């Protein structure tokens, strides 16, 4: 029975490890910050994988060997507890420090440094169960939001007063998000009702919307194509279908797209 | 004191024996059965969720009859999926993982393992079980109200959970019942932990020093301390959430929300405040689920390996370290929540550091296997499986602990795999190990070993088949909590989801083997000897099953640590308990034992209880006032108003009452009253204290009404909400104090009051005074 346990454990450990490395599970990275994250992910998976395999193999080996040992004196692991404790503190401690330091750089590039001043401003508003996006138009300004004027049936998702607020007049509101490739985007995030989230796996980016808080996120998409924005914060019954399209296009295509959307309003 | 004699010979009626028992062993079994019911419901719900994820259009026979609105024609609707998910999480986390390893096994074995006949407060114990049961019934009842159960998950993030039915089905009555159930559960857990801590402190038998306590007792003790702190924060958090729903306050709801095209009347609240309060509870809760399992696994392994662990102290200190660290890393649940990104780096570090004590414990388990004489039983298999699963769930923590990787993995199936393995499966393996190990003691019958081993193999392999693939799904960016995968990218992952569903159905069904074994062995299993596993701790020195009075009224004493295995000689082990004969003579020669093994009339016990209660109460008020400060700091809508002058008058009165009580306490003779004259001062002073206390309470009510009449209501603004709330919370403390005081005074008049009771009461009353001074100063600073 103990041998069966050891073999099962080894098969599970080897199988799990094989599945981790046999397949590129993560979708292709399309962001300027993604490469650093992917590198860090690989290093961490490698380190965790080694710890995982080491523990499972030792467990299997000892169960195999010592369950048969029903006579004779018990023996003590070479080095005893002190050796194991030292090993845990030194090995895991090093890993902790290394990972902790390694991770700060990519976190900082995403969240600690502000967007550059010439980044393209896009506003996204999350609501049950859709995203709406707003581009400032030629004046470069987003008009003020009046929650009391929000009316989805009249297509006034942001509660804009286009008659009285000059800045609102040329704002372009869309249901999908287009961005020019290789240009930094400064995404201003607000929620209309409850908590939501903005998650694009290809951008290696996720940020919650917090009602009552104005948050922002900045990123640069480096590859054209159509991707999916998903809501990851439980927001109600339609949570599963709260998705929007992210289209990364060339600078020229983007300008055309914006003109077309502006004309349609 | 328990309605039966210590020899257990008296016949007890059905109600006293099975329903309202004061016997910790029966209460332990009741908790076990309750969590068994909860786990059955929880597993069936997870089946329904898995079936729906794999085959969304499938009609499940009978489900349409059970919930015609949630699952018309047996096809699960999106909101019903979320309701099932919320219920699954809540049942499993609270009613299974918190109850079974701690409340069930702890109640049964903690007193026995420290040589006590009873828990410190048997009536409180009875009460906590029944309150837990009420919480369970309230939660289950939410399935049947209009709109169904809550759909906001077990974390109940506001505003979704705070604005009412307008946010979706299940967010009306269902959500209210959810919060009420959890609040009730908090109360029960707090009472339970007071009992556990006091018992461990005060009822250890002679010679049972802290370092001689079994690993299980250490684990339960540390867990109880964590429970005390964690649930005394969740309780006020639930309270605030209920007020947001029913009293129109805005603790968690900000201004300008438009829900279902309606502008909400709230202003200024902070959704992140709930997240902080919730995860301050929520992260320690993970360790509340896993620490008792670690204790059980260590306990079972040593009996199976026939040797002590390489280092007991290392395991105990590591568990304590985990307990402390678990309170400073709650923010790792909130890396992408919108909190200050610098704090993510702060929370990341202790999250990584907590892997060190966990690794120490794991390495000591594995290292102790080396050179042992391992016996393979169902119990030891589950203990070994625990180590494997604990590692598999633990290593993924390295990824999630790093904010920059968490931005990718957060809210994906990677997290689902992580917490299910380390918290769910590992803790359940600990429960199984405990069940197979202690069943003979609890019932006097052995469980069937071949069936137990079959159960292990199916569960072990099945669990890996279910939860390992979650890691791959998460890496692929598969978002959790979605009732269907509508996006094209996710379609390619459907085969994995179907595989998981099949594995889940199979593994769930395999638990029938366990249930059959449990029921069959309970009734018809082979009779168990006193010590079938040749184990050493105290529970194996008394009959299986133990009589109502576990030790039959004998004096228990120990003189060595509990894990004397691997001894040279005919028997390879030594019992921890000193033989009765020796104990008798030893006692007569030695000074009176420092600790008693049964709750004598000594009221120092209730003093311990009051101290522990004070700790909980301090946490509750710390949570409330820090919520106040956070809310004050972030709000644009904070309105200042003048505190009623009456409050200062009340304050003076309360301080005076404490002073007068102190005079009574000091004047009271240390030993029995010799005559009525002795108590004259005490009677007078206590009466004055009672009067002052009552007037204080009346004065507080008057201050409340005075503000009310000025038009300031509960929901008017955050400052008034907090004002009323703190007044109310403190008022409840005073009210309890007044009732206790009436009892003390009554006892005094019957000349039966003893000094320790008076001292216990004085401690409590002084605490309420100090508490009021704290509350008043906070109010003065902020309002």
Measured in residues, chain A has a length of: 265
The answer on pLDDT for B9 being more than 60 is no
**Confidence bin at A202 (pLDDT 50/70/90):** very high
* Secondary structure of B470-523 in HEC code, one letter for each residue: HHHHHHCCCECCCCCCCCHHHHCCHHHHHHHHHHHHHHHHHHHHHHHHHHHHHH
CA distance A221 to chain B (A): 16
Contact A232 B412 (CB under 8 A): yes
Cα separation of B168 and A195, whole Å?
Answer: 14
**What residues contact residue B3 under an 8 Å CB cut-off, 6+ apart?**
B12, B16, B22
Contact B384 A63 (CB under 8 A): yes
Contact A107 B341 (CB under 8 A): yes
**pLDDT tens readout for residues B477-505:** 999 999 999 888 888 999 999 999 999 99
Contact B360 A62 (CB under 8 A): no
**pLDDT tens readout for residues A87-108:** 999 998 988 888 877 778 888 8
**pLDDT tens readout for residues B708-718:** 888 888 888 88
B262-263 and A225-230 as β-strands: parallel, antiparallel, unpaired? Answer: unpaired
Asked whether the beta carbons of B125 and A160 are under 8 A apart, the reply is no
What percent of chain B has a predicted confidence (pLDDT) above 70?
95
Asked whether the CA dihedral B569, B571, B572, B577 is positive or negative, the reply is: negative
Cα separation of A225 and A200, whole Å?
Answer: 13
Closest residue in A to B403 (Cα) is: A107
The answer on pLDDT for B104 being more than 50 is yes
Question: Does residue B550 have a cis peptide bond before it, meaning omega lies within 30 degrees of 0?
Answer: no
Return the residue matching tokens 């797209």: A257
pLDDT given at position B590: 38
Contact A69 B372 (CB under 8 A): yes
- Average pLDDT, stretch A110-120? 91
Q: Sort out which chain B residues have CB atoms less than 8 A from A99's CB and list them.
A: 352, 398, 401-402
Helix-strand-coil split of chain B, %, nearest 5:
70, 0, 30
pLDDT given at position A96: 83
Counting Cβ atoms within 10 Å, is residue B499 exposed (0-12), middle (13-18) or buried (19+)? middle
Best B166, B272, B347, B366 member to test A by mutation, with max A CBs in 10 Å, is B366
CA distance B392 to chain A (A): 6
Select from B256, B402, B411 the Cβ nearest to the Cβ of A44.
B402
**Confidence bin at B18 (pLDDT 50/70/90):** confident
Check: complex ipTM more than 0.85:
yes
pLDDT given at position A79: 87
**pLDDT tens readout for residues B79-101:** 999 999 999 999 999 999 999 99
Q: Sort out which chain B residues have CB atoms less than 8 A from A237's CB and list them.
A: 77-79, 82, 151, 168-170
**pLDDT tens readout for residues B204-232:** 999 999 999 999 999 999 999 999 999 99
Strand order in the sheet with A184-191: A172-174, A130-135, A120-127, A184-191, A215-220
Asked whether the beta carbons of B107 and B31 are under 8 A apart, the reply is yes
Contact B468 A233 (CB under 8 A): no
The answer on pLDDT for B617 being more than 70 is yes
Cα separation of B250 and B264, whole Å?
Answer: 11
pLDDT given at position B290: 96
**pLDDT tens readout for residues B757-767:** 899 999 999 99
- Average pLDDT, stretch B645-661? 95
Contact A107 B568 (CB under 8 A): no
- Average pLDDT, stretch B742-770? 91
The dihedral formed by the CA atoms of B292, B294, B296 and B297, expressed in degrees to the nearest 10: 160
Q: In the beta sheet, which residues pair with residue A121?
A: A186
The answer on pLDDT for B567 being more than 90 is no
Select from A67, A208, A212 the Cβ nearest to the Cβ of B255.
A212
What angle do helix axes B378-395 and B449-475 make, rounded to 10 degrees? 10
> Measured between alpha carbons, how far is residue B249 from residues A158, B299, B637 in Å?
26, 49, 12
Q: Sort out which chain B residues have CB atoms less than 8 A from A12's CB and list them.
A: 388, 461, 464, 468
**What residues contact residue B9 under an 8 Å CB cut-off, 6+ apart?**
none
Contact A210 B337 (CB under 8 A): yes
Cα separation of B12 and B574, whole Å?
Answer: 36
Cα separation of B10 and A188, whole Å?
Answer: 74
**pLDDT tens readout for residues A154-183:** 999 999 999 999 999 999 999 999 999 999
Cα separation of B354 and B221, whole Å?
Answer: 19
Contact B403 A103 (CB under 8 A): yes
The full DSSP string for B400-431 is HTSHHHHHHHTTBHHHHHHHIIIIIIHHHHHH
Q: Pull the structure tokens for residue B102.
A: 């701690």
Q: Give the residue among B622, B517, B35 at the shortest CA–CA distance from B289.
A: B35
Asked whether the beta carbons of A200 and A228 are under 8 A apart, the reply is yes
> Measured between alpha carbons, how far is residue B595 from residues A6, B95, B209, B236 in Å?
46, 34, 10, 36
What percent of chain B has a predicted confidence (pLDDT) above 90?
77
- Average pLDDT, stretch A68-80? 81
**Confidence bin at A64 (pLDDT 50/70/90):** very high
Contact A59 B355 (CB under 8 A): no
Please work out, in degrees rounded to the nearest 5, the angle formed at the alpha carbon of residue B294 by the alpha carbons of B290 and B295. 120
The answer on pLDDT for B557 being more than 70 is yes
The full DSSP string for chain A is -HHHHHHHHHHHHHHHHHHHHHS--SPPP-BTTHHHHHHHHHHHHHHHHHHHHHHHHHHHHHHHHHTS--SS-----TTHHHHHHHHIIIIIHHHHHHHHHHHHHHHIIIIISPPPTTSEEEEEEEETTEEEEEE-TTTT-PPPP-GGG-BTTTTBTT---TTT-HHHHT-EEESSEEEETTSEEEEEEEESSS-EEEEEGGGTEEEEE-TT--EEEEEEB-S-EEEEEE--S--STTGGG-EEEEEEE-HHHHHHHHHHHHHH-
Mean pLDDT value across chain A: 93
Q: Sort out which chain A residues have CB atoms less than 8 A from B374's CB and list them.
A: 2, 62-63, 66-67, 69
**pLDDT tens readout for residues B417-464:** 999 999 999 999 999 999 999 999 999 999 999 999 999 999 999 999
Q: Does A57 touch chain B (CB under 8 A)?
A: no
Contact B168 A128 (CB under 8 A): yes
The answer on pLDDT for B649 being more than 90 is yes
pLDDT given at position B678: 65
Select from A1, A110, A151 the Cβ nearest to the Cβ of B404.
A110
Does residue B38 sit in helix, strand or coil? helix
pLDDT given at position A144: 95
- Average pLDDT, stretch A140-160? 93
Select from B272, B388, B399 the Cβ nearest to the Cβ of A9.
B388
Return the residue matching tokens 């104005």: A214
What percent of chain A has a predicted confidence (pLDDT) above 90?
79
The answer on pLDDT for B587 being more than 90 is no
Q: Pull the structure tokens for residue B609.
A: 């209880």
Q: Does A103 touch chain B (CB under 8 A)?
A: yes
Q: Pull the structure tokens for residue B658.
A: 């404490």
Please work out, in degrees rounded to the nearest 5, the angle formed at the alpha carbon of residue A6 by the alpha carbons of B379 and A16. 105
**pLDDT tens readout for residues B26-68:** 999 999 999 999 999 999 999 999 999 999 999 999 998 998 8
Asked whether the beta carbons of A199 and A231 are under 8 A apart, the reply is yes
Q: Pull the structure tokens for residue B508.
A: 């769930």
pTM (two decimals): 0.94
**pLDDT tens readout for residues B280-328:** 999 999 999 999 999 999 999 999 999 999 999 999 999 999 999 999 9
**Confidence bin at B777 (pLDDT 50/70/90):** very high
Cα separation of B229 and B328, whole Å?
Answer: 13
CA distance B413 to chain A (A): 11
**Which of B783 and B580 is assigned the larger pLDDT?**
B783
What percent of chain A has a predicted confidence (pLDDT) above 70?
100
Contact A62 B306 (CB under 8 A): no
The full DSSP string for B157-178 is -TTTTTS-GGG-TTTTHHHHHH
Cα separation of A209 and B336, whole Å?
Answer: 9
Chain A, 168 to 227: residues with Cβ < 8 Å from chain B are 192-195, 197, 199, 201, 204-213, 215
Q: Sort out which chain B residues have CB atoms less than 8 A from A241's CB and list them.
A: 78, 484, 486
Asked whether the beta carbons of B764 and B610 are under 8 A apart, the reply is yes
**Which of B195 and B670 is assigned the larger pLDDT?**
B195
């Amino acid at each position: 029975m103990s041998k069966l346990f050891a073999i099962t454990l080894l098969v599970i450990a080897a199988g799990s490890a094989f599945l981790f490395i046999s397949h590129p599970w993560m979708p292709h990275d399309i962001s300027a910050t993604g490469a650093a994250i992917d590198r860090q992910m690989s290093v961490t998976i490698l380190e965790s994988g080694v710890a995982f395999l080491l523990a499972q193999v030792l467990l299997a080996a000892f169960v195999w060997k010592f369950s048969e040992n029903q006579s004779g004196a018990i023996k003590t692991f070479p080095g005893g507890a002190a050796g194991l404790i030292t090993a845990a503190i030194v090995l895991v401690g090093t890993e902790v420090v290394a990972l902790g330091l390694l991770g700060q750089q990519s976190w900082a590039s995403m969240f600690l440094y502000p967007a550059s001043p010439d980044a393209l401003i896009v506003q996204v508003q999350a609501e049950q169960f859709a995203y709406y996006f707003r581009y400032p138009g030629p004046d470069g300004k987003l008009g003020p939001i009046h929650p009391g004027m929000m009316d989805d049936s009249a297509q006034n998702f942001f509660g804009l007063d286009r008659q009285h607020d000059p800045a609102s007049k040329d704002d372009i509101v869309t249901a999908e998000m287009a961005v020019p490739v290789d240009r930094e985007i400064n995404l201003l995030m607000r929620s209309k009702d409850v908590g939501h989230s903005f998650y694009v796996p290809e951008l290696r980016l996720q940020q919650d919307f917090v009602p009552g808080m104005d948050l922002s996120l900045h990123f640069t998409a480096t590859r054209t194509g159509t991707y999916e924005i998903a809501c990851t914060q439980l927001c109600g019954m339609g949570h599963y279908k709260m998705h929007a399209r992210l289209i990364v296009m060339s600078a020229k295509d983007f300008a055309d797209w914006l003109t077309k959307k502006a004309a349609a309003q | 004191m328990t309605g039966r004699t210590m020899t257990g010979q008296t016949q007890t009626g059905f109600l006293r024996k099975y329903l309202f028992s004061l016997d910790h062993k029966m209460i332990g079994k009741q908790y076990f059965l309750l969590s068994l019911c909860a786990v059955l419901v929880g597993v069936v719900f997870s089946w329904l969720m898995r079936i729906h994820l794999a085959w969304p259009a499938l009609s499940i026979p009978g489900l349409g009859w059970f919930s015609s609105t949630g699952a018309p024609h047996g096809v699960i609707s999106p909101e019903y999926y979320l309701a099932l998910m919320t219920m699954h999480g809540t049942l499993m986390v609270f009613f299974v993982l918190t109850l079974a390893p701690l409340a069930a096994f702890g109640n049964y074995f903690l007193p026995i393992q420290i040589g006590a006949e009873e828990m410190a407060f048997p009536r409180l114990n009875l009460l906590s079980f029944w309150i837990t049961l009420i919480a369970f019934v309230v939660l289950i009842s939410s399935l049947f109200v209009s709109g169904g159960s809550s759909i906001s998950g077990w974390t109940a993030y506001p505003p979704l959970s705070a604005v009412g039915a307008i946010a979706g089905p299940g967010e009306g009555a269902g959500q209210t019942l959810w919060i009420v159930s959890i609040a009730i559960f908090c109360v029960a857990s707090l009472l339970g932990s007071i009992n556990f801590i006091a018992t461990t402190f005060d009822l250890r038998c002679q010679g049972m020093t802290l370092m001689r306590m079994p690993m299980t007792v250490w684990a339960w003790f540390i867990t109880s301390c964590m429970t005390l702190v964690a649930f005394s924060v969740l309780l006020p958090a639930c309270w605030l959430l209920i007020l947001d729903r029913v009293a129109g306050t805005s603790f968690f709801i900000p201004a300008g929300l438009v829900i279902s095209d309606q502008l909400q009347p709230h202003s200024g609240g902070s959704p992140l405040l709930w997240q902080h309060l919730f995860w301050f509870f929520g992260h320690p809760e993970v360790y509340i689920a896993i620490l008792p399992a670690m204790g059980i696994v260590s306990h079972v392994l040593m009996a199976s390996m026939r040797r002590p662990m390489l280092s007991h102290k290392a395991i105990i200190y590591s568990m304590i370290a985990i307990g402390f660290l678990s309170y400073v890393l709650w923010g790792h649940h909130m890396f992408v929540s919108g909190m200050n990104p610098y704090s993510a780096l702060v929370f990341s570090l202790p999250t990584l550091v907590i892997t060190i004590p966990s690794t120490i414990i794991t390495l000591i388990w594995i290292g102790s296997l080396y050179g042992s004489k391992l016996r393979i039983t169902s119990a030891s298999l589950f203990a070994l499986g625990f180590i494997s699963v604990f590692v598999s769930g633990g290593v993924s923590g390295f990824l999630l602990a790093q904010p920059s990787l968490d931005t990718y993995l957060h809210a994906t199936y990677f997290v689902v795999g992580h917490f299910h393995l380390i918290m769910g499966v590992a803790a359940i393996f600990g429960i199984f190990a405990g069940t197979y190990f202690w069943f003979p003691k609890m019932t006097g019958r052995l469980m069937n070993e071949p069936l137990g081993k079959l159960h292990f193999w199916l569960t072990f392999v099945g669990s890996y088949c279910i939860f390992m693939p979650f890691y791959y799904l998460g890496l692929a960016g598969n978002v959790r909590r979605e009732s269907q995968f509508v996006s094209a990218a996710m379609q390619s992952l459907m085969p994995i989801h179907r595989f998981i569903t099949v594995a889940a159905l199979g593994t769930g069904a395999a638990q029938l083997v366990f249930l059959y074994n449990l029921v069959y062995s309970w009734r018809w299993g082979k009779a168990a000897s006193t010590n079938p596993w040749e184990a050493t701790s105290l529970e194996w020195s008394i009959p299986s099953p133990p009589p109502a009075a576990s030790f039959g009224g004998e004096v228990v004493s120990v003189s060595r640590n509990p894990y004397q295995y691997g001894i040279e000689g005919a028997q390879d082990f030594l019992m921890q308990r000193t033989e009765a004969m020796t104990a008798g003579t030893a006692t007569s020669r030695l000074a009176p034992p420092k600790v008693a093994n049964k709750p004598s009339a000594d009221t120092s016990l209730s003093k311990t209880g009051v101290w522990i209660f004070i700790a909980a109460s301090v946490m509750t008020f710390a949570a409330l006032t820090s919520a106040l400060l956070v809310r004050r700091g972030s709000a644009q809508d904070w309105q200042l108003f003048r505190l009623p002058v009456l409050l200062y008058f009340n304050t003076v009165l309360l301080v005076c009452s404490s002073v007068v009580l102190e005079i009574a306490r000091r004047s009271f003779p240390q030993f029995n009253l010799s005559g009525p004259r002795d108590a004259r001062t005490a009677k007078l002073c206590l009466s004055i204290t009672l009067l002052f206390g009552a007037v204080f309470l009346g004065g507080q009510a008057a201050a409340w009404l005075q503000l009310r009449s000025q038009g300031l209501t509960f929901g008017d603004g955050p400052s008034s909400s907090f004002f009323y709330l703190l007044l109310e919370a403190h008022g409840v403390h005073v009210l309890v104090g007044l009732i206790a005081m009436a009892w003390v005074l009554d006892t005094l008049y019957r000349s039966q009051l003893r000094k320790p009771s008076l001292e216990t009461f004085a401690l409590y009353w002084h605490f309420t005074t100090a508490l009021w001074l704290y509350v008043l100063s906070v109010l003065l600073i902020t309002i």
